[in-house]
Amino acid sequence: MAFDVLFSEPSVHQVHDDEAFAATIGAASDFVGAVFLGDGSYEAWPHALVPPPPVPEGFASWYAAADGDRLTAARAAFPVREMAAQAARLGNVSDTPDRDGVFRRATLLRVFDGHPVFSMGLTPLLVGNDAAQPVFLDGELRMGEASAPIDRAGQAILRYRGPSQTHQTFNAVAVFQSEMRLREGADNPPIGDPSVFKDRYVFFGFSAPGLMDLRATPASDKPYPGVEIHATALDNFLSGDFIRDVPSRYAVLLTTLFSLLAGVAVTMSRKAWQSVAAFVVFIPAPLLAGFAAYEQGYGFPVTVHTLAVLTTLVGAIVVNYATEGRQKAFIKQAFRHYLSPQVIDGILRDPSQLKLGGERRELTIFFSDLQGFSALSEKLEPPALTGLLNDYLSDMTDIILDEGGTLDKYEGDAIIAFWNAPLNQPDHAVRACRAALRCQRKLAERRADFRARGGVDLLMRIGINTGDVVVGNMGSRDRFDYTVLGDAANLASRLEGANKAFGTFLMISESVLSQTGAAFVARELAQLRVVGRHAPVRVYELVGVAGEPDPRSPALDVFAKGLDRWYQGDTAGAVALFESIPADPPGRAYAARGRTLPANDGVWTLTEK
């Protein structure tokens, strides 16, 4: 029986009231009285009034590392002599809320005059229970089979079972009336079953607002009687389910992680809805983490984490706002000459994909050149030549940029472009091949116009290769180009020139074809060894888009059979097949080569660029 009433003053009905009450307490032998630590008239333990509690095992070492300022009480208020002498134990009824005035924790232990005093919630366990002697071990307070985590201030986080009166409660008047009626032999006392109190811990306290023992708790928005907080502490201790603080190292780690992720999310955001989404995701994240931790029996510092995340989000918004304008202006100025507006917009949405300077990455490189342009330039006057060339380059460039390509440079009539930089384009090989086919078709549409203006048919040779190169802004500090360097780029240039040997106009490497899947129709031309490379590369003529009819199909089938004979070393058989398709330029080239080179190793070696 635990009384959350101090009885620090004598009864107004004379001392025999106190003596009668004390006699009843002594006869019960299991009464827990109250002591208030932190305020009162006593500055030392009144040994003559009541013996001090024993010092638990392990207390000295635990107390040495504890927060003495918060744990130790300088003053105390004790019950009157009659009650203090008869109580089996005294439990501390004073407690301190969190900074916001909410009682989330229970002070399980305080120290007065060097003596440890347990709370009103735990003291009932010590009455008449030799097996429940307290022991301090590994940051926990243990009593028999029960234990509780206890911090340096002697506190533990309560797990409330619900709002007030979740634990069974009785009105004191009903108890008195029931006792009187039972003594009188009545059959219908207010409390019908007196055994409801048998083998139970019973707490007596006040719930009336005028008695000033109502507390704010996280369990309800309504006042919570202080006596029920003591009952909750005992309940938690017996059940072993006090809430444990998340270890500080994990709390710091999670705070840092949430803040970093929130900051990165906003920094990477390029649209207003993306920033809003970051707020929607990360603001409730600490709260959700708190719920998840609570289910596992841990207390998570939600407020601190929420403030940290909110501060980071707002700071990232400010940084984005301050730097975005300058960044966009720089990007537009740097790339407006060789990127399509769509690609520039993509960079502005996600500048992280742009690296100024050099970086190694896989690109698909496009080289094109006009056949016989030198002769054309000798026939035309400079203004006419310039106008024709500008029209041609404009048509081709528009197609390349429309396919997401990056224009590297013009070299006279030659065009150099690439895909997959500065933005990532997983389908870069497909885009380059599609652009090449469109360029050839566009030139075919304009050929009559160009012939009328220049007197010759304009034919364009294209070479395409995919491979790793270095791409970036290269040049001097004051003037530079966004360009590519590397063997893969050189091979694309060699393939453009290799078209002359086979009479073709669109040659791609095996690395290009392997990345296009079944999107295009291509025929194998040769295992080609170009100038400057010892290892041969398998090359193909890009014929067209898959599914489109091609009148050359029969000739292509015959060419494929002849090429197979060529690889097997059957030069004569191959030449016979090639001669059967005289209208096919690669077939004519192989027939002529086979007549001059009766023996071959299957590799076509070029001796000039």
| Confidence category of residue 378, pLDDT binned at 50, 70, 90 | confident
Q: Position of tokens 């797990």?
A: 159
Secondary structure of 258-280 as H, E, C letters: HHHHHHHHHHHCCCHHHHHHHHH
SS3 state of residue 9: coil
SS3 state of residue 386: helix
Quick: pLDDT tens for 246-256: 877 888 888 88
Largest pairwise CA distance in the chain: 137
Compute CA 440 distance to the chain's CA centroid, rounded to the nearest angstrom: 47
Is 546 in contact with 562 (CB distance < 8 Å)? no
Structure tokens at 319: 């940084």
| Confidence category of residue 265, pLDDT binned at 50, 70, 90 | confident
Residue 578 forms beta bridges with which residues?
none
**Bridge-based pairing state of the strands 506-509 and 520-529:** unpaired
For residue 243, the 8-state DSSP code is B
Average pLDDT over residues 468-478: 80
Residue 432 has pLDDT above 60, yes or no: yes
Residue 355 has pLDDT above 60, yes or no: no
d(CA 589, CA 578): 9
d(CA 95, CA 103): 9
| Confidence category of residue 341, pLDDT binned at 50, 70, 90 | low
pLDDT at site 584? 95
d(CA 413, CA 492): 16
pLDDT at site 325? 60
Residue 494 has pLDDT above 90, yes or no: yes
Average pLDDT over residues 407-428: 93
pLDDT at site 132? 79
Sequence letter at residue 568: Q
Residues ≥6 apart with Cβ < 8 Å to 438: 399, 403
pLDDT at site 492? 97
Secondary structure of 39-102 as H, E, C letters: EEEECCCCCCCCCCCCCCECHHHHHHCCCHHHHEECCEECCCHHHHHHCCEEEECCCCCCCCCE
Structure tokens at 252: 């710091």
Sequence letter at residue 206: F
d(CA 169, CA 195): 14
pLDDT at site 90? 94
Q: Which residue has the higher pLDDT, 375 or 487?
A: 487
Lowest average pLDDT, out of 119-123, 146-150, 186-190, goes to: 186-190
Quick: pLDDT tens for 399-412: 999 999 999 999 99
| DSSP codes of every residue in 463-510 | EEEEEEEEEEEEE-SS-EEEEEESHHHHHHHHHHHHHHHHT-SEEEEH
Lowest average pLDDT, out of 275-284, 565-574, 588-597, goes to: 275-284
Most confident of 277-281, 453-457, 587-591: 587-591
| DSSP codes of every residue in 517-543 | TTSEEEEEEEEEE-TT-SS-EEEEEEE
Average pLDDT over residues 157-172: 91
Average pLDDT over residues 152-174: 91
d(CA 371, CA 361): 31
Structure tokens at 198: 């048998």
pLDDT at site 351? 61
pLDDT at site 511? 97
Average pLDDT over residues 456-483: 86
Residue 451 has pLDDT above 60, yes or no: yes
Residues of the chain above pLDDT 70, percent: 93
**Bridge-based pairing state of the strands 32-42 and 89-92:** parallel
Residue 353 has pLDDT above 70, yes or no: no
- CA atoms 535, 541, 547, 553: torsion sign: negative
For residue 380, the 8-state DSSP code is S
Residue 119 has pLDDT above 90, yes or no: yes
User: Around Cβ 282, how many Cβ atoms within 10 Å?
Assistant: 22
Q: Which residue has the higher pLDDT, 321 or 437?
A: 437
SS3 state of residue 453: helix
Sequence letter at residue 421: A
Is 272 in contact with 176 (CB distance < 8 Å)? no
Most confident of 163-172, 181-190, 372-381, 538-547: 538-547
Q: What is the CA radius of gyration of the chain?
A: 45
Q: Which of 471, 478, 224, 274 is nearest to 355 (CA)?
A: 471
Residue 416 has pLDDT above 90, yes or no: yes
Instruction: Give the chain's mean pLDDT.
Output: 88
Domain residue spans in the chain?
2-244, 246-333, 357-550
Q: Which CATH class is domain 357-550?
A: alpha beta
pLDDT at site 259? 85
Quick: pLDDT tens for 78-90: 999 988 989 999 9
Average pLDDT over residues 553-566: 94
Q: Position of tokens 């989330």?
A: 104
Q: Residues, the chain, total?
A: 609
